[in-house]
Amino acid sequence: MLSVENLSFRYQKDITLNQINFSLEKGQHLAVIGESGCGKSTLLKLIYGLYDADEGRILWNDNEVLGPKFNLIPGMEFMKYLAQDFDLMPYITVAENVGKYLSNTNPKAKKIRILELLETVEMTEYAAIKAQFLSGGQMQRVAIAMVLALEPEVLLLDEPFSHIDNFRKNSLRRKLFAYLKEKEITTLVATHDSTDVLSFADAVLVLKDGAIVEKGKPQLLYENPKNKYVASLFGDVNEMEIDGKIQYVFPHQLKEVSDSDVKGEVLNSFFRGSHYLIEVQTEKGILFFESEKKYTRSEVVYLKK
């Protein structure tokens, strides 16, 4: 089990993380989400042992994670941390980068392992290419393979798909998270992408201003957001008063009806491929709903959840 207890940290005088508490079982995947600057990356670095906590402690199977004050080389051996700068060696090949931490005692086994990892991140055809000639997205995929090479017990991923093209991102996500589940690698992902959260996380931790504002299973958080901040992390959201209560309603949850208390004029229709996102001006503000058809500007619509 990974256990984070009363963790607090500050870079200077302002608190970056304040009283963070959570636990994670072996093989579980946790998504850490929140706006930029909320402390996501700092939390991962503390868990890895790159910083010393001001208060609290971090435990993995009852072994305390210690920072630079206690370790000459920061970082814990049973963990791997994928930063946003990749840390590739530019003048050696992709295969050499992936295999640089693997043992040379069995060259055949090492080669098989490298090819397995490159296949997982869909980079097999680039094995002999030097890292300096790769795009940002390709570098990120090689960096993922590198941190997987030694099969860590705990894997910390900081925006792991931020540089990768959308057409490849979905396939890579499916392969990577399936691999991590198969190997029972406990994984923490700091992300701003709701797809990483809803499709692959077992639990979600929502940070704001360095504090936890919500935690739980992805589906429960999505269906019952505590406030607009939490709801907005999953996409466009409408704040509406329904039956005397404030509710946070996603565009796909609103439908056009023949008559209702919510009346508005269409401002824009945004084509989204499988549907249109319709922007509507109502008496109480702007609302968004999804529709299979395009609406004309100033068209009157009635909406209901």
First-to-last alpha carbon distance for the chain, in angstroms, is 41
Which residues in the chain show pLDDT less than 50? none
pLDDT on residue 304: 93
Residue 153, amino acid: E
Looking at the fold, whether 218 and 294 belong to one and the same domain comes out as no
Instruction: Please state whether the predicted TM-score (pTM) of the whole model is above 0.85.
Output: yes
Looking at the fold, whether 172 and 274 belong to one and the same domain comes out as no
Q: Which of 228, 244, 271 is the last residue of a domain?
A: 228
pLDDT on residue 236: 92
Q: Name the residue among 304, 290, 300 with its Cα closest to residue 261.
A: 304
Looking at the fold, whether 217 and 240 belong to one and the same domain comes out as no
CA 75 to chain CA centroid, Å, is 21
Quick: pLDDT tens for 126-180.
999 999 999 989 999 999 999 999 889 999 999 988 888 888 888 899 999 999 9
Beta bridge pairs of residue 278: 269, 289
Looking at the fold, whether 197 and 145 belong to one and the same domain comes out as yes
Looking at the fold, whether 132 and 54 belong to one and the same domain comes out as yes
Looking at the fold, whether 209 and 240 belong to one and the same domain comes out as no
Q: Is the dihedral of CA 59, 157, 7, 42 positive or negative?
A: positive
Burial grade of 17 (CB within 10 A; 0-12, 13-18, 19 or more): buried
Q: Name the residue among 298, 303, 204 with its Cα closest to residue 251.
A: 303
Q: Give the structural domain span for 162.
A: 2-228
Looking at the fold, whether 250 and 188 belong to one and the same domain comes out as no
Looking at the fold, whether 188 and 204 belong to one and the same domain comes out as yes
CATH classification of the domain holding 42: 3.40.50.300
CATH classification of the domain holding 293: 2.40.50.140
Q: Write out the two tokens for 126.
A: 């680039």
Q: Dmax over Cα atoms in the chain, in whole Å?
A: 74
Looking at the fold, whether 183 and 247 belong to one and the same domain comes out as no
Q: What's the total number of domains in the chain?
A: 2
Q: Which of 211, 228, 245 is the last residue of a domain?
A: 228
Looking at the fold, whether 277 and 153 belong to one and the same domain comes out as no
DSSP code of residue 62: T
Looking at the fold, whether 125 and 272 belong to one and the same domain comes out as no
Q: Which of 189, 208, 228 is the last residue of a domain?
A: 228
Looking at the fold, whether 58 and 169 belong to one and the same domain comes out as yes
Quick: pLDDT tens for 243-261.
889 999 999 999 999 999 9
